[in-house]
Amino acid sequence: MKIVSWNVRGLGDRKKRAVIKKVLKKCGAYIVMLQETKKMLIDRKLIGNIWGSKFREWICLPSIGSSGGILIVWNTKAVKVKESLLGSYTVSINCADSEGKEWWLTGVYGPNGSRERPLLWEELADLYGLCDPNWCIGGDFNITRFPSEKSNGGRFTRSMRVFNDFIRETHLCDPHLHNAGFTWSNMRENAILRRLDRFLFTPDWEELFPHVRQEALPKVTFDHCPILLDLKAKKWGPVPFKFENLWLKQQDFRGKFKKWWEEERQEGWEGFKFMKKLKAVKGKVKDWSKETSRDIVVKIKEVEDRIKELDSWEERGQLSQDRRQERA
């Protein structure tokens, strides 16, 4: 089970939705929480633009004009939602997975202004009373916990103190974030960075998922990193075969596939022959893909690694104008 939280800064742009869909497909998320959708209405067509599977349901908190908005989408084959709640700054769902585990998940988009933050903490305190003991909460809180979560440091503010008081009083765990020290950048020459996005969860929820790991994904297009919460222990074994759509764009693939299929001669009943041919052709497709597609996959991986490297330069305040242009 994987959960992704991401402030996407609007879902109106078609190219941006295509990027979101690609990232979510690659990481294999079963539940996705998007903040700042800037959408008053979410329909099935828009969900289809960002979610690869047809097995999907969703709940959303509409934006106020072009400001705010929260969306949670889930894979109905992996997650059953028994109940949902809409607040002013949150969306919550009561989940049950295929293993029978039940818990509450809350998506947050915190207010920017300090005057509204007390309303957020009141709303979350009410949810804690309802969702405890198995509660996970994640999103863009729009506030840091410590001065060290700001690239320019500063003092320990009252807003930080209230945030930490809430975490302490609700006994929430704040797990280590792998791959990044900050989750947001203003993307300017003299960059300001913050850790605004995170997951928090109760100790009982962590007992349900003892192998949980929080990781920052590459900041491929927006000013916020997607945050991945992986609930499963890593499996060390053969990688399953996956058909890549990019193969269909190769000029000679269709002809080769037809030739491979026709070359296979099997004996037996039709179902047996079909399965045998599939297995044989799969091996040829894998061999072919290693020769032709490997360069594309390697290049994509190299670019993502370079983005991570450039982000780390930015975190240290050493991102030059040339490197900034390279990242763009």
Within a domain: 301: no
Same domain flag for 287 and 208: no
- Indicate if 57 and 155 belong to the same structural domain: yes
pLDDT at 241 exceeding the cut of 80: no
- 172 & 258 share domain: no
Residue 324 lies in a domain: no
Question: Is residue 304 in a domain?
Answer: no
Q: Are 104 and 15 in a shared domain?
A: yes
265 and 120 in a single domain? The answer is no
Q: How do residues 107-161 score in pLDDT, each as one tens digit?
A: 999 998 888 999 999 999 999 999 989 999 999 999 999 999 998 888 889 999 9
To 5 degrees, how large is the angle CA 282–CA 243–CA 214? 125
pLDDT score of 244: 76
Q: What is the share, in percent, of the chain residues with pLDDT greater than 70? A: 96
Amino acid 169 reads E
CATH number of the domain to which 89 belongs:
3.60.10.10
Is residue 216 domain-shared with residue 288, that is, in the same domain? Answer: no
CA angle 195, 94, 35 (to 5 degrees): 35
Q: Report if residue 325 sits inside a domain.
A: no
Residue type at 278?
L
Do residue 256 and residue 155 come from a single domain? no
307 in any annotated domain: no
pLDDT band, very low/low/confident/very high, at 293 (cuts 50, 70, 90): low
Q: Where do we find the tokens 């491929």?
A: 220
Question: Does residue 205 share a domain with residue 282?
Answer: no
Cβ contact 19:27 at 8 Å: no
Residue 237 lies in a domain: no
pLDDT, one tens digit per residue, over 58-108 is 999 999 988 899 999 999 988 999 999 999 999 999 999 878 889 999 999
Position with higher pLDDT, 317 vs 204: 204
Tell me which of 223-227, 228-232, 280-284, 291-295 is least confident.
Answer: 291-295
pLDDT, residue 158, reads 92
Tens-place pLDDT, residues 27-36? 889 999 999 9
Of 59, 38, 90, nearest to 222 (Cα)? 38
For residues 287 and 226, membership in a common domain is answered with no
At 298 the pLDDT is 74
* pLDDT for position 235: 55
Judgement on whether residues 205 and 266 belong to the same structural domain of the protein: no
Token reading at 234: 């890593």
Q: Which of 102-111, 210-219, 318-327 has the lowest mean pLDDT?
A: 318-327
Supply the mean pLDDT for the chain: 88
Residue 155 falls within a domain, yes or no?
yes
Residues 170 and 260 in one domain: no
- 110, 111, 105, 142: which is closest to 127 by C-alpha? 105
Number of domains in the chain: 2
Domain span including residue 143:
2-230
- By the 8 A CB rule, do 34 and 6 touch? yes
Buried b / exposed e over 206-241, threshold 16 CB at 10 Å, is: bebbeebbbbbbbbeebebbbbbbbbeeeeeeeeee
Task: For residue 298, tell me if it sits in a domain.
Answer: no
Q: Are residues 206 and 263 in the same domain?
A: no
Average pLDDT over residues 207-216: 92
Could you tell me which residues are beta bridge partners of residue 135?
104
Instruction: Pick from 33-42, 44-53, 300-309 the range whose average pLDDT is largest.
Output: 33-42
